Structure 1
Amino acid sequence: MTSNSQNIFYYSSLIGFFYQNGIGCEVDEIKAFEIFSNSVKNNQKALLNHFTFDQKNESISFCNDDIKELNEIITQYFYSLFLYKDIILNRRNNYKFYNKNAEKGDSASQYYIGNYHYIKKDYDKAIEWYTKSSEGENIKATYSLGVCYNFGLGIKKEEKKAFELFLKSAEGGYKYALNVVGYCYYNGYGILKDENKAFEFYLKAAKKGHGTSQYLVANWYNDGKHVLRNEEKGFYWNRKAAINGNVNAQFELAEYYIDSSINKNERKAFKWYYKLANENKVRAIYLVAKCYRDGIGIDKNLKEATTWIKKYELSKFFGKPQITLNDFLNGSDIDAFSISPFTRMCY
């Protein structure tokens, strides 16, 4: 039987839980934290008799078996309070720290404060701080200010102004701005269409490590539509993009290793498919099953092929190409490339 004080602690913790998760009320992290704090303060003496908290290692040491008598929810939330408290207090302390420096004219801090208000959708304040930071030559703030103009967040939408800000940020070397300027030139967004300029900026962004730009540059070299066709450079940039996490590039690199007459390497192809399959990409799940069935890049293994094709069958998405296990094992196939590379397994 729990005591009255323990019941109070239980229910106050539960109310804090409601505020934390928005159950029957709006999510209010600060209110949740206050309730957790008051609950702890009011029961601190009793609770400290049961366990101690190692703040350095973020671990609890139980002193005796009496803790088992406390409701499981109470112990879980008292433990999580320390972690939760750190998150909230760090956010508060960070804001105070950066705001103080922002007021003194530090452009990096001004950019941080701008982001803080942007996340809270206080776009007027975000623009105010982005503008100050941009005037201090902060290229990230200049880019973010361009985003506000581009989407009309807290200010009138103005494509030309957005492009000017993106260009200024790009000239400072910011890779995301370089990519966006390439997009603007290619599509004539806020500036006259110029495919040569588009490629120039995509290439600059690619050299800065921007994955999408690396993939686009690879495509341009492979297609030869806007620049001279160069398969070697196409492969180079596609591989860069794949390593950088671009999903399209990863699939295309795998296909290159299967189809190439020069650099054919089915084992590398399988490794890329297997990586993507383990990230629940449905197309890759099917292709891994096919590799096991046909011995492409891996030893033939019908048991593994069956496991993977069953996983494919379990995936649920609209318009999925259908195939039965028997048909698959007998050599029938679907057009795996009709499945978007981004389609993920859902159950």
Structure 2
Amino acid sequence: MPKRIVVPAALTNLALANNAKAQFELAELYMQSEHEDDIILAEEWALKAAENGHVEAMYWLGEGYTVYAKDMAEEDAEESKAHFELGYYWLSKANMQKHPAATLELAGYFRRGDVIEKDVEKSVKLVTQAAELGEVQAMRDLAFIYENALGVDADEEKAEYWHEKAQAAEE
């Protein structure tokens, strides 16, 4: 049986005092465990942090629920749908706080039509927003979108622009 995580009392006290940063740190600590009870605690603390406005916790939850929903899609469609809804909710909250990676992940919901109506134009707008916020993967995606006319007219200049932006951001 896997060992439980030992959490510093000072961190727990801060988290219990509604410190969102401490709540998210606890979530991350618990997530390192392989013990099922710790994994449950990780989600609970991440939810508290997100509800207290911690944008990274919002993204973390949104991404986690999305990954789980994709994994469950063939096994249990109802559970998958419920997790897609949670993922969409938290990614939308993080997007409102201008979190670049959450914005890019949210674009996928509109591209695929997960629990919302498929809207390629909205997806491209969100990818653009994420790129403008500095998300390198979004820059690469935009270059590809413009090169291959995916939901937009082909535009070599825009494709080259986003290629160069991505390359510069990586250096």
TM-score when normalising by structure 2: 0.72
Displacement, 1:345? 4.3
Give distance in 2, aligned partners of 1:277 and 1:221.
23
Amino acid at match of 1:202: A
> 1:163·1:181 contact (CA, 8 Å) conserved in 2?
no
Residues 295-334 of structure 1 aligned to structure 2 (within 5 Å): 295-309=149-163, 311=164, 315=167
The Cα RMSD (Å) is 3.1
1:288-341 CA distance string (max 9 Å, x none) = 2233334434444344334434x25x826xxxxxxxxxxxxxxxxxxxxxxxxx
**SS of residue paired to 1:232:** helix
Residue number among 262, 267, 272 corresponding to 2:121 in the alignment: 267
Structure index of larger Rg: 1
1:107-152, CA deviations, whole angstroms, 9 ceiling, x for partnerless residues? xxxxxxxxxxxxxxxxxxxxxxxxxxxxxxxxxxxxxxxxxxxxxx
1:255 match: 108
Is contact 1:238-1:253 (8 Å) kept?
A: yes
Q: CA deviation at 1:164?
A: 0.9
Aligned AA (1:218): G
Deviations 1:29-56 (A, max 9, x none): xxxxxxxxxxxxxxxxxxxxxxxxxxxx
Instruction: Percent identity, please.
Output: 25
**Partner of residue 284 from structure 1, selected from 117, 121, 138:** 138
Say whether 1:172 aligns with 2:17: yes
Given candidates 217, 225, 245, the residue that maps to 2:61 is 217
Whether the 8 Å CA contact 1:170–1:177 is kept in 2: the answer is yes
1:264 is aligned with what amino acid? K
By how many angstroms is 1:279 displaced?
4.0
- 8 A Cα contact 1:281 1:345, kept in partner: no
CA 1:212–1:307: 2 relative to 1, 3 Å: closer
| 2:100–2:131 CA contact under 8 A, matched in 1 | no
1:193: Cα distance to partner?
6.0
Distance 1:167-1:236 versus aligned 2 partners, 3 A rule? same
Give the gaps of 5 or more residues in structure 1.
1-158, 317-343
How many residues are matched?
Answer: 155
Structure 1 outlier segments of 4+, above 4 Å: none
The 8 Å contact of residues 170 and 181 in structure 1, kept in 2 or not, is answered as yes
Between structures 1 and 2, the one with greater helix share: 2
CA contact (8 A) 1:268 1:297 kept: no
The CA distance in 1 between the partners of 2:161 and 2:18, in whole Å, is 48
Q: Paired residue for 2:43, among 195, 199, 202?
A: 199
Q: Runs of 5+ in structure 2 lacking a partner?
A: 72-78
Larger RCO (CA under 8 A, 6+ residues apart): 2
What amino acid maps onto 2:44 in structure 1?
E
SS in 1 for 2:98: coil
